[in-house]
Amino acid sequence: MTDYDVIVVGGGPAGSMAAEAAAKGGAKTLMLEKDRDIGYPVRCGEGVGAAGLRKFIEPDPKWIATTISKVRMRSPDNTQVDFGLANAGYVLHRRLFDYELANRAGQAGAEIQTRAYVDGLIMENDAVCGVKYQYMGEQRSLRAKLVIAADGVESRVGRMAGMRTATKLKDMDSGYQATVGNIDVDQEMIDFYNGDVWAPGGYLWIFPKGDGMANIGLGVNGKYAHECHPHDMIHGFLDKYFPKARILTSVCGGIPVAKTLKLITSNGLMLTGDAARMVNPVTGGGIITGMVGGQLAGQVAAESIQSGDVTVSGMADYPKRWHKAEGKGHEAFYRIAQGIAEITDDQLNKIAHRLVKTPSDKLSLLKIFTAVAREKPGILLDVTRAFAGV
């Protein structure tokens, strides 16, 4: 006897997409979220690409803060390389966006329970067959044929099932972001500061949020975590460049810039989104890739429920479809990230000095990455692969 076919743990983009797809596939689905609100607190720069987003949902002014059409890349010596990208992307209001995705899951038939903190799994014969959770101070449990862990970085639920979800320090960025007001930045431009001087092993971003606000954050690679603190770096940056800015809210969080986990299923359990390490290792962006992974997990979950086989082999289509959709490109991006990590600040300055001579209407992301690959020829093939959408 089970209470649900599928229980999804976590109400982020990956969880809501999984719940929607599972419910649409006919599975009796419940999504559990530990926080009081879906989508809050926001731990995210909120930037997404337009093309990736449109595959799932039509952009709605309700949850779009700004539309981005320009990019600025800064080198360590602050040389600015600008170029345009028509319909490049958006800065979201994640709180409202995540609500929208959860709402769609609900409309597809999934039940949703917030304030439900999953703190254990029901295991039988080495297979997951339900969850234990705390709800308003009460300990509860529910049985399910299949559990989808969409519980974010280093999935605790995965670990409860014996999966190895810990990430090496070198594959984890430590992120800190302040949403600030009283700031005057171009509302159509995302601005990246590259090099160790700004953010060792990562980058610093300014994403405009409209109404004189912006998300200003940075990710520092775990290797440097003992040397520099992202919080202090952002505060130092704001004091120096935007002394009039006022911090409205701030967040910190880990960003897995790693390859997808080798195993993303075990008997009765799937991992998806950040929990499965589906984040783009170059950009640290995981909203869209999490949506891709979540939807695939939900679809395969419904199919496995129908076929009555929720073992690793019965769900083998999930890792296969993920690798077909994103996996190879994801691995190429990982190798590019490793190559970029070896480029010195002097080399980055050299690249920027060359690129700045090219008129901005002749520049593109591919041209920038190709210029980087001239300094690091080992990544040229992967740049070609990644941009060919392999």
Q: Does 118 bind ligand FAD (CB under 6 A)?
A: yes
DSSP 92-132: E-HHHHHHHHHHHHHHTT-EEESSEEEEEEEEETTEEEEEE
Q: Which of residues 154-183 bind ligand FAD (CB under 6 A)?
A: 156, 175, 177
Q: Does 152 bind ligand FAD (CB under 6 A)?
A: yes
> To the nearest whole angstrom, how small is the minimum distance from the Cβ of residue 68 to ligand FAD?
11
Each residue 19-58 as x (binds ligand FAD by CB under 6 A) or -, in order, gives -------------xxxx-------xxxxxx----------
Cα(153)–Cα(271) distance, rounded to whole angstroms?
11
> How much helix, strand and coil, in percent to the nearest 5, is found in the chain?
35, 30, 35
With CB under 6 A as the contact rule, the residue among 151, 191, 326, 382 that binds ligand FAD is 151
> Closer CB to ligand FAD, residue 76 or residue 293?
293
Cα(363)–Cα(327) distance, rounded to whole angstroms?
27
Q: Does 15 bind ligand FAD (CB under 6 A)?
A: yes
> Closer CB to ligand FAD, residue 96 or residue 356?
96
User: Bridge partners of 255?
Assistant: 173
Cα(244)–Cα(249) distance, rounded to whole angstroms?
15
Cα(145)–Cα(303) distance, rounded to whole angstroms?
12
Cα(225)–Cα(136) distance, rounded to whole angstroms?
36
User: Bridge partners of 81?
Assistant: 73
> To the nearest whole angstrom, how small is the minimum distance from the Cβ of residue 70 to ligand FAD?
16
Q: Does 339 bind ligand FAD (CB under 6 A)?
A: no
Strand ranges (E), 233-364: 246-256, 265-266, 269-271
> Which residue's CB atom is positioned nearest to ligand FAD?
286
> Closer CB to ligand FAD, residue 37 or residue 370?
37
- Of 9-17, 63-71, 241-249, 330-338, the window that binds ligand FAD (rule: CB under 6 A) is 9-17
> To the nearest whole angstrom, how small is the minimum distance from the Cβ of residue 358 to ligand FAD?
27
- Of 5-13, 76-84, 310-318, 357-365, the window that binds ligand FAD (rule: CB under 6 A) is 5-13
With CB under 6 A as the contact rule, the residue among 6, 7, 14, 220 that binds ligand FAD is 14
Q: Which of residues 202-221 bind ligand FAD (CB under 6 A)?
A: 217
Q: Does 279 bind ligand FAD (CB under 6 A)?
A: yes
User: Bridge partners of 268?
Assistant: none
Nearest alpha carbon to residue 270 among 132, 134, 127: 127
- SS3 of 229, please? coil
> To the nearest whole angstrom, how small is the minimum distance from the Cβ of residue 339 to ligand FAD?
22
Cα(276)–Cα(293) distance, rounded to whole angstroms?
9
Q: Name the residues that contact ligand FAD, by CB under 6 A.
A: 9-15, 32-35, 43-48, 117-118, 150-152, 156, 175, 177, 217, 251, 253, 255, 273-275, 279, 284-287, 290
